[in-house]
């Protein structure tokens, strides 16, 4: 009798433990998913410079294109879309197959969205007119930054910048729409394709980051109100060109080494910038004897990342002043770039 009672008690305890485990699992599964990008945009629309809905839709169009590019990157090795295409873009750089695919995907998404009247892309020499002449915005973009790293599995990204057009509504966009200068950006951001896919953007009211939940196909708010550390101990620069840098840049690199800073250089602008944005550090792409004007493109690489950096409390300079204060004269104008933690940028420029 006692044995039967003991057996019954053991079974009851096991059942209780099982019920507790099931209850805990149900509770975990029922946890809130988080704030989606769409919900965040709608909830913060009143903070946009022009709260009429078009900018919100434009950001959604960019996010949609980012999801599609993420899919293409993840299956690149399966469908033979990795590697070079055997052609050059307007910069004289070898185009990767995914450069072309990303360019097509973003142009298509922005055309279908209807909010952008024109696009400026790293991959094309002139303005791309969308046919939506009633659109209030223009978009400048680098569809796929660091694409040569795809073959070796290194993180890459998309960089974008949004301006409110200055040309008359109903007419085709003009050069002036894209040559307004960095201070005129109404929104800017980037999409990082790596171990996770993230969209980081600002509309001039702080910086927020969203991580793509692959199972839901939704960007979820994961990094709210990003504040970049004022200082750091990481420097990102291609030291292979050390002898071609100005003496002041060489001196700063020596300063970093004397202080035993960590050298971290991925060779993908978005990746290096993203790490330093979150953890503190500086990214340097100075001018060289070969490229006296610098190599990074001002309008669709330097401007948008400088906008993000300043909105998060960081800094961005060409070595002489703020990147955002440079007056652009051509679509594919180049510039040196010192960007990252505010105090590190100040020290690098001072050197």
Which residues carry a binding-site annotation?
122, 142, 144-148, 238, 265, 283-285, 295, 301
Long-range contacts of 127-133 (CB under 8 A, 24+ apart): 127/173, 127/175, 127/178, 127/331, 129/172, 129/173, 133/169, 133/170, 133/171, 133/172, 133/173
What residues form the annotated binding site for substrate? 145-148, 238, 265, 283-285, 295
Please say whether the beta carbons of 106 and 158 come within 8 A: yes
The label of the residue with tokens 């680098």 reads: 142
The rounded distance, in Å, linking the Cα atoms of 168 and 155 is 40
Give SS3 for 232. coil
Which residues touch 20 (CB under 8 Å, ≥6 apart)? none
Residue 214 is given by DSSP the state: T
The rounded distance, in Å, linking the Cα atoms of 104 and 86 is 17
Please say whether the beta carbons of 274 and 198 come within 8 A: yes
Instruction: Work out the number of other CB atoms within 10 angstroms of the CB of residue 185.
Output: 24
Residues in the chain: 351
Give SS3 for 301. helix
The rounded distance, in Å, linking the Cα atoms of 101 and 156 is 14
The rounded distance, in Å, linking the Cα atoms of 299 and 141 is 8
Tell me how far apart the 2 most distant CA atoms of the chain are, in Å: 95
CA atoms within 13 A on the CB side of 145: 27
Phi, psi dihedral angles at 128 (to 5 degrees): -100, 110
H or E element, residue 277: helix 269-279
Please say whether the beta carbons of 199 and 212 come within 8 A: yes
What residues form the annotated binding site for Mg(2+)? 122, 142, 144-145, 301
């Amino acid at each position: 009798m006692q044995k039967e009672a003991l057996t019954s008690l053991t079974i009851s305890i096991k059942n209780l433990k099982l019920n507790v485990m099931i209850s805990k699992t149900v509770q975990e599964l029922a946890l809130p998913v988080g704030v989606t990008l769409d919900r965040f945009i709608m909830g913060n629309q009143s903070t946009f410079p022009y709260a009429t809905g078009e900018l919100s839709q434009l950001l959604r169009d960019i996010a949609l294109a980012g999801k599609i590019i993420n899919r293409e990157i993840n299956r690149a090795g399966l469908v033979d879309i990795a590697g070079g295409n055997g052609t050059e873009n307007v910069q004289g750089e070898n185009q990767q197959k995914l450069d072309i695919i990303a360019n097509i995907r973003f142009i298509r998404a922005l055309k279908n969205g209807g909010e952008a009247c024109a696009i400026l892309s790293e991959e094309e020499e002139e303005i791309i007119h969308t046919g939506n002449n009633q659109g209030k915005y223009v978009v400048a973009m680098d569809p796929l930054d660091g694409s040569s790293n795809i073959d070796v599995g290194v993180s890459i990204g998309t960089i974008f910048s949004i301006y409110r057009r200055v040309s008359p509504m109903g007419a085709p966009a003009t050069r002036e729409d894209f040559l307004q200068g960095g201070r005129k950006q109404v929104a800017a951001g980037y999409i990082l394709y790596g171990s996770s896919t993230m969209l980081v953007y600002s509309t001039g009211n702080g910086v927020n980051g969203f991580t793509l939940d692959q199972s839901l196909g939704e960007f979820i708010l994961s990094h709210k109100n990003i504040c970049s550390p004022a200082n750091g101990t990481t420097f990102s620069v291609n030291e292979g060109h050390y002898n071609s840098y100005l003496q002041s840049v060489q001196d700063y690199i020596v300063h970093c080494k004397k202080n035993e800073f960590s050298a971290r250089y991925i060779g993908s602008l978005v990746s290096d910038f993203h790490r330093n944005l979150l953890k503190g550090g500086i990214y340097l792409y100075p001018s060289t004897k070969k490229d006296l004007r610098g190599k990074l493109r001002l309008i669709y690489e330097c401007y948008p990342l400088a906008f993000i950096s300043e909105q998060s409390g960081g800094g961005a300079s060409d070595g002489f002043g703020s990147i955002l204060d440079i007056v652009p004269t051509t679509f594919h104008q180049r510039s040196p770039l010192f960007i990252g933690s505010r105090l590190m940028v100040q020290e690098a420029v001072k050197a």
